[in-house]
């Protein structure tokens, strides 16, 4: 009785490790940037150096500008309970509304290519209630929601899609959204 159970247990990991179906890592066809504008709550992310001090209550706010760019305001709570924020700018790449570049360096450095980071909207709810943002090399990933929480089933579907697109989802961290964020949402 023990031998068949051991054989079955040995076979299961091999099946689970077989390559899953894959899909190309590409941006959605288009994004209505006016609908995309506003506040988004970070639900999950791949760890990034520039977010190393963030422990939760992370938001991103996008505001369309007259020149066609978008002002970006990223905000998060740090370990000491204070908030840090970063002001940036997003611009279209080759006229695409789903492939953007974002910079947080001072404007006078915007001529340098290395200050711009890729920002691809790789999944988007038809009602603009959630989005998943990535990059061509699958080295950035954020799951965003219009509310501080996201249905777990949707989050799992997005993680599965990201895995099929080649993102290292085993490194993804969930972002705590607590009282501070809910109070902030209530003030707006």
Tokens of 16: 């689970």
| Confidence at residue 144, expressed as pLDDT on a 0 to 100 scale | 98
- The domain total for the chain is 1
Nearest alpha-carbon partner for 55 in 185, 184, 178:
178
Domain of 53, in residue numbers? 23-182
| Confidence at residue 7, expressed as pLDDT on a 0 to 100 scale | 32
pLDDT over 60 (residue 2): no
| Confidence at residue 143, expressed as pLDDT on a 0 to 100 scale | 98
Tell me whether residue 2 is in a domain.
Answer: no
Quick one: average pLDDT of 58-64?
97
> 75-127, pLDDT tens digit by residue?
999 999 999 999 999 999 999 999 999 988 777 787 777 778 899 999 999 99
Tell me whether residue 12 is in a domain.
Answer: no
The set of long-range contacts for 67-73, using a CB threshold of 8 Å and a minimum separation of 24, is 68/92, 70/33, 70/37, 70/100, 72/102, 72/104
Quick one: average pLDDT of 36-65?
93
Quick one: average pLDDT of 9-18?
38
The CATH number of whichever domain residue 92 belongs to comes to: 2.40.128.20
| Confidence at residue 6, expressed as pLDDT on a 0 to 100 scale | 31
Tell me whether residue 7 is in a domain.
Answer: no
Tell me whether residue 52 is in a domain.
Answer: yes
Whole-number Å distance between alpha carbons of 98 and 123: 10
Mean pLDDT of the chain: 85
What's the half-sphere exposure (Cβ side, CA atoms, 13 Å) at 168? 7
Do the Cβ atoms of 76 and 51 come closer than 8 Å? yes
**Which has more pLDDT, 178 or 40?**
40
Tell me whether residue 164 is in a domain.
Answer: yes
Tell me whether residue 37 is in a domain.
Answer: yes
Tell me whether residue 188 is in a domain.
Answer: no
Tokens of 152: 């777990």
To the question of pTM greater than 0.85 for the whole model, the response is no
Dmax (CA) of the chain = 73
- Residue 159: C-alpha distances to residues 95, 118, 167 (Å): 28, 20, 9
């Amino acid at each position: 009785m023990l031998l068949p159970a051991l054989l079955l247990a040995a076979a299961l990991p091999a099946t689970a490790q077989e390559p899953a179906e894959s899909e190309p890592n590409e941006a959605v066809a288009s994004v209505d940037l006016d609908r995309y504008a506003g506040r988004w709550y970070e639900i999950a992310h791949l760890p990034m150096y520039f977010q190393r001090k963030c422990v939760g209550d992370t938001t991103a706010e996008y505001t369309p500008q007259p020149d066609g760019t978008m002002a970006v305001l990223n905000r998060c709570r740090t370990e000491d309970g204070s908030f840090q924020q970063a002001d940036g700018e997003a611009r279209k790449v080759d006229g695409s509304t789903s492939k953007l570049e974002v910079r947080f360096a001072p404007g006078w450095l915007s001529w340098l290519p290395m200050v711009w980071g890729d920002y691809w909207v790789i999944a988007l709810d038809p009602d603009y209630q959630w989005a998943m943002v990535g990059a061509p090399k699958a080295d950035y990933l954020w799951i965003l929601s219009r509310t501080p929480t996201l249905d777990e089933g949707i989050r799992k579907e997005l993680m599965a899609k990201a895995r099929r697109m080649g993102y290292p989802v085993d490194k993804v961290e969930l972002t705590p959204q607590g009282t501070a964020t809910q109070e902030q949402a209530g003030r707006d």
